[in-house]
Amino acid sequence: MTVVLFALLGLLVGGLVNQLGSDLPARRALTRPHCPHCGQNRPCQQWLSLPAYLVGRAQCPSCNARISLRHPLAEIGLAVAYGYLWITFGPSVKLALYLVYSAIFAIVLITDIERRLILNVLMFPAILFAAVASFFTPGMVWQSALAGGVIGLLFFLGAALVGNAVFGSGALGGGDVTLAAFIGLIVGFPLIVEALVLTILIGAAISLLLIVTRVRTLHDHIPYGPFLVAGAIATLLWGYPIADWFLYR
């Protein structure tokens, strides 16, 4: 029953994340869910898009524009994530922190995939939150978090400078740098090294797949935030087992 409650909490947070993912890039304060096409507020029964999809009413009642698939996917994703985190960590400080981190990562995925933006208005408070949280995270000391944040920031700052010089402006942005710093703070040192390696491996594999399948070309910029998020999640959940597998297999 508790797992179901946490899944429902994730569903509700997914609705909030969806709205923030739309409002923050537009520099709006948080608004009621509304249709991006005609601007009309959605009725209460459409504030969460998954139920609207399930009953076949996933369109605006005013202009009939369909609610994008991103909305139910975000809600389902966070529902699954919250249920899994409860099963894995139970009632704990780590659970509370990871619930917050999951919502932050979800907003990053939405804004970076849709608009190639990782917003300072999100990342600066997230970095501050992670810095304070390092004093309360079980198994973490603030020196480890600080070292991780500095390494993540410096590595991606260097990568952004080189990438933009070689591939042109926009290869990597400032948002990728702040996201890397945030990830470094929450995984700490030495796990930030693993997170960066996983990010590079995942990014290379998916980018190659997109190019081979001609979804993207060598001249297209591919958002790097999702790869950073994937590397961070894998490290947060299975960091030391992955490191052991690489080092001692």
Task: Say what the pLDDT of residue 87 is.
Answer: 95
Task: Say what the pLDDT of residue 227 is.
Answer: 95
Residue 227's nearest CA partner among 164, 126, 156 is: 156
Q: How many helices (H) and strands (E) are present in the chain, helices listed first?
A: 9, 0
For residues 93 and 26, the answer to whether their CB atoms sit within 8 Å is no
In sequence order, the β-bridge partners of residue 67 are none
Task: Say what the pLDDT of residue 118 is.
Answer: 93
Task: Say what the pLDDT of residue 62 is.
Answer: 83
Average confidence (pLDDT) over 67-89 = 95
Q: How confident is the model at residue 170 (pLDDT cuts 50, 70, 90)?
A: low
Q: How confident is the model at residue 220 (pLDDT cuts 50, 70, 90)?
A: confident
Alpha carbon 131 to its chain centroid, in Å, reads 18
pLDDT in tens, 173-187: 788 999 999 999 999
Instruction: Say yes or no to pLDDT of 33 above 80.
Output: yes
% of the chain residues with pLDDT over 70: 96
Q: How far from 78 is each of 22, 143, 156, CA to CA, in Å?
A: 17, 31, 27
Sign of torsion over alpha carbons 213, 80, 133, 194: negative
- SS3 of 76, please? helix
Task: Say what the pLDDT of residue 221 is.
Answer: 76
More confident residue, 81 or 53: 81
Question: Which letter, b or e, does each residue of 94-114 get, where b requires 16 or more Cβ atoms within 10 Å of its Cβ?
Answer: beebbbebbbbbbbbbbbbee
Which amino acid is it at 203? G
Instruction: Say yes or no to pLDDT of 241 above 90.
Output: no
The pLDDT mean for the chain works out to 90
For residues 229 and 105, the answer to whether their CB atoms sit within 8 Å is yes
pLDDT in tens, 129-149: 999 999 998 888 999 999 999
Tokens of 204: 């290379």
Neighbours of 141 (CB within 10 A): 13
Select, from the ranges 80-89, 209-218, 239-248, the one with the highest average predicted confidence (pLDDT). Answer: 80-89
Instruction: Say yes or no to pLDDT of 189 above 90.
Output: yes
